[in-house]
Amino acid sequence: MAASTTGFPLAKIPIDEDCIQLYGYMAVRDDLDKLLNYVVKYSRDNPIIMWQGDLIEMTGPKRGISMCCTVLLEFDMRIKKGEQEKDDLQLIDGALDYSAIVTATYPFTKRINGDCGAVDITLARVYSAVEATIQVVISEVQSGFNLYLSSLCFVCDVWKETQLFHGPIGESCGLRRYVVAVSLDTWMHLKLKQSNMDVPVNKYWASLHLSRRSFD
């Protein structure tokens, strides 16, 4: 079994802030490794600028996350406010545990509330799962555009769309690799939407059937 998500929506920020500078970590401990397996990690010297509703992108996982036993999710996310760390605000801080026995097989969302905001985490228990690595390379750019990339996976009779990337593209580049958990013998669809000021939204699809033969 495995659980997978590619990011955590920033559900709520202080009402007097348009955007925030966010830093801290989210990490997982499981039966495979008792040490911290970081899925989000940003230092105070290099925070990310976030608006309410933005996706806090995962920088991992570096490997699959086992749910043969209880999985512990730890987090400590802060809002940078001043020159010194003591001036910063605590967004969320704590830990959640999930068990393979009681964790739902369908996607569900848990809101983590903190003193100065909230973060949503969506996850599901996926049986007979494999890791699918997604990498998109922009080989040629004639003019800048905005790109939206998402994956759609079939989880417990539900198609779940997960945002992987949303931002401007100005030159040839490769997006970072994304890892998602997908059940064997199901389809995974990739959706790309391209837009700019002069051209309507163009949509593109790519599909892959995840079977054992796909990995031979």
Write the pLDDT tens digit of every residue in 119-168. Answer: 998 877 777 777 778 888 999 888 888 999 988 887 777 787 888 888 88
Q: Which among 178, 167, 170 is positioned nearest to 138, based on CA atoms?
A: 170
Tell me which amino acid residue 105 is. Answer: T
pLDDT tens per residue across span 90-106: 999 988 887 765 666 77
Residue 66: partners with Cβ closer than 8 Å, 6 or more residues away: 1, 2, 30, 31, 32
Indicate if the pLDDT at residue 84 is higher than 80.
yes
- Note whether 165 and 149 are within 8 A (CB): yes
pLDDT digits (tens, 9 = 90+) for 25-61: 988 877 666 677 788 889 999 999 999 988 888 765 5
Domains of the chain, CATH where assigned: 7-123 (2.60.40), 129-215 (2.60.40)
Please give the structure tokens belonging to residue 201.
């939204």
Provide the 8-state DSSP code for 86. G
The answer, as to whether pTM is greater than 0.75, is no
pLDDT on residue 47: 93
Q: Per-residue pLDDT for 201 more than 90? A: no
Sign of torsion over alpha carbons 57, 59, 61, 67: negative
